[in-house]
Structure 1
Amino acid sequence: MRLVWLVGALALVSPMIAHADTAPWAAGVSDEQKTQAKALLDAGNALLLEKKYVEALDKYTAAVAVWDHPAIRFNMVRCLIQLGRNLEAAENLDRSLKYGAAPLEETVYNEALAYQKLLATQIGDIAISCTQPGVILTLDGQPLATCPAQETRRVLAGPHQIVGNKAGLLPKTVELVVIGGKSSDASITLDPLEKGATIVHRWPTYVPWAVFGGGFAVAAAGGVLAVLGNNDMKTYDKFVDDRCTGNCTPEQLADVAHLKSGGELKGGLGLGLAITGGVAVATGAVMLYLNRGRTVYPEVAPAAGGGMTISLGGSF
């Protein structure tokens, strides 16, 4: 049923073209051009009926190059829709309907209006603006404009990506989801590299402080032990002075011998801890110096196959 209708619709195109001498879409077109366009149209129609859409589209494209008749261009729309090239189909449909119903047979015009409603749900617009001079914009990876600019593009419904890029500024990517029949707006403003800068450290910031503070704690503990050991030794020496006028025998000092051994042990441990803590404090101080903040700025570099990549670079 569809094939019979299509044959009838295609068959009506030729007589309409033949009787369009005074129509605005025929102004300035010679009889020779009309004959040539008619031959290409007929060849395209035959291919279209055979569902050879690519070949038919080539014939129609050649025909409109000779005579841009709305009926021929509408047959291009038929092919483009079959090929899934709906954006191109919508653009050609607008041109086919430029003069309204006059250039088309009624059933063909009604079909064109039905296609227009269908495509309207699958296509939307993106309005893009930018004011920064020299910023280069791309839409879905294709060149769009160099700012300052205001651009409107018709696109298929769905996700789209706008990228702005300029040396010395942070690249910006805007993701949009376009709804069929609706318009989406995007204003692109790039930020200076400094805004994307980060402060990095050789180690996590707590590590040098932990070493530095830990060294102080160990040194302090060593100092406490050294003081305690010294006190024990002083107490032991006092017992010796009180009990002995000369050399004391071990038996005389047996009950206070632990003060001497404890004092010596505490003194030795205290000295060792103090030295270890001092080394740790010095190490922590060096680490604090080496771990001072380093400002890193993004660097934009071209990527293979187009687009860009962002790397990081900076100095202390």
Structure 2
Amino acid sequence: MKTCMGGNTHCLGIALALLLSALPATAQQPGPVPSLTREPAWAKNVSLEQQQAAVGPFEQGNTMLKESLFIEAAKKYRESLQHWDHPATSYNLALAMMNLDKPDEVYALMNVSIAHGQAPLGPDRYQHAQKYIERMEHDYARMTLLCRTDTSVTLKSEIQHLPVSCQRFERLLRPGPYLLSATHDGYQLPDLKLDVEPGQKLGYRLEIEEQRRWAAWKPWAVMGAGAALAVGGRLIHMKARDDLRAFDARVDELGGWMPPDPQVVDARPRAKTLQRVAAVSYAVGGAAVFTGVALLYVNRLQPKLHPVPLGDNELTVTPVVGGGQTGVQASTQF
């Protein structure tokens, strides 16, 4: 099955195969073959042999798609794309991926399929792709992440873990909570929580910053308070010791008899109370000092992820499909 444009040797059989294939996933009738009077952009630098090699797996994919063999159909369409990056193949691959719960890949493929306008798809499929893209951008969020090449980052949710390519990561995400987990120079960084809402367009450059958990003075304040309690306890202890010595000396003067002076009699229990207060001050002060030392260690400078929002002029996103890969390419300015 093959049709050619005038005397041009480049064949558009794959476009004809698309338009003559009944695809139940679209619920659309095949449209007419577009009228082309010159070599289209999607056929440039594609030899006749490459086009012919692409038609076979494309038609096999169509057959599998009609039989609801979505995984097998997707494999055939990817095989066809290795020979020829035709918008029609990207469109049909998107139809297969819709049934495999791959919204981000479907979104990228639909964008690729409409990159050359209506001609390679026909108006009905072109409009269908546009409406699907609009619906995805309304229901999902688009996340763009850029990071240092010496940092390994994973975007986690309850249902999936997505490795982040720091050179180019652009993905549609289901709304909900996410965690950014990263390692830098072999060190596991604290996770960073992100809340994603429908329709959001989020873009961050992930930088590594050394931060403390608390202000640097707080552990020192705890240590200082502990030291002050310990010193206070020492002074109270010395006062209790002096009072007991004075009491014992007065008793010795009386030959072991209890002194008649009430103030001297009360000195002993008062000194015992001061001893107990001093012991408590020692314990609390020592615990505070040790706590301060532990806080100093915990509060040391540690690397953490710091998300810097990307400006509108920093990011350019281009859908990419070809060579068995699907996604988007993000370029940025620093």
TM-score by length of 1: 0.61
Max Rg structure: 1
Within the candidate set 255, 258, 262, 2:258 is matched to 262
1:73 Cα offset (Å):
1.0
SS at structure 1 position matched to 2:297: strand
1:77 Cα offset (Å):
0.3
Match of 2:237 in 1: 215
Within the candidate set 116, 124, 127, 1:110 is matched to 127
1:138 Cα offset (Å):
1.9
Q: Identify, as 1 or 2, the structure richer in helix.
A: 1
Match of 2:88 in 1: 71
The 1:165/1:98 distance shift into structure 2, 3 A limit, reads: same
Match of 2:210 in 1: 192
Asked whether the 8 Å contact 1:124–1:179 carries over to 2, the reply is: yes
Match of 2:9 in 1: none
User: Which whole-Å deviations, capped at 9, do the CAs of 1:140-192 have from their partners, x for residues lacking one?
Assistant: 1624438xxxx662331433334565469994643223334432243545443
* Aligned equivalents of 2:26, 2:109: Cα separation in 1: 22
1:223 Cα offset (Å):
6.0
The 1:190/1:163 distance shift into structure 2, 3 A limit, reads: same
Asked whether the 8 Å contact 2:154–2:180 carries over to 1, the reply is: yes
Q: Could you tell me which runs of 5 or more consecutive residues in structure 2 were left unpaired when the two chains were aligned.
A: 1-20, 156-161, 306-334
* Aligned equivalents of 2:88, 2:149: Cα separation in 1: 43
Does residue 77 of structure 2 align to residue 60 of structure 1? Answer: yes
Q: CA RMSD in A?
A: 5.1
| Structure 1 runs of 4+ with >6 Å offset | 7-11, 17-21, 264-269, 275-280, 282-287
The 1:155/1:11 distance shift into structure 2, 3 A limit, reads: closer
% same residue: 17
User: Which whole-Å deviations, capped at 9, do the CAs of 1:46-73 have from their partners, x for residues lacking one?
Assistant: 1111111000000111011112111111
Asked whether the 8 Å contact 1:215–1:281 carries over to 2, the reply is: yes
The 1:223/1:277 distance shift into structure 2, 3 A limit, reads: farther
Asked whether the 8 Å contact 2:65–2:96 carries over to 1, the reply is: yes
1:24 Cα offset (Å):
1.9
Higher deviation after alignment, 81-90 or 37-46: 37-46
User: Which whole-Å deviations, capped at 9, do the CAs of 1:202-253 have from their partners, x for residues lacking one?
Assistant: 9x9497468546635644664675588689x4xxx9xxxxxxxxxxxxxxxx
Match of 1:33 in 2: 50
* Aligned equivalents of 1:67, 1:17: Cα separation in 2: 19
Match of 1:253 in 2: none
TM-score by length of 2: 0.58
SS at structure 2 position matched to 1:263: coil
Match of 2:101 in 1: 84
1:122 Cα offset (Å):
3.7
- Counterparts of 1:93-242 in structure 2, within 5 Å, are 93-128=110-145, 136=151, 138-140=153-155, 142-145=163-166, 153-158=170-175, 159-163=177-181, 166=184, 171=189, 173-186=191-204, 188-192=206-210, 199=219, 205=226, 208=230, 212=234, 215=237, 218-219=240-241, 222=244, 233=254
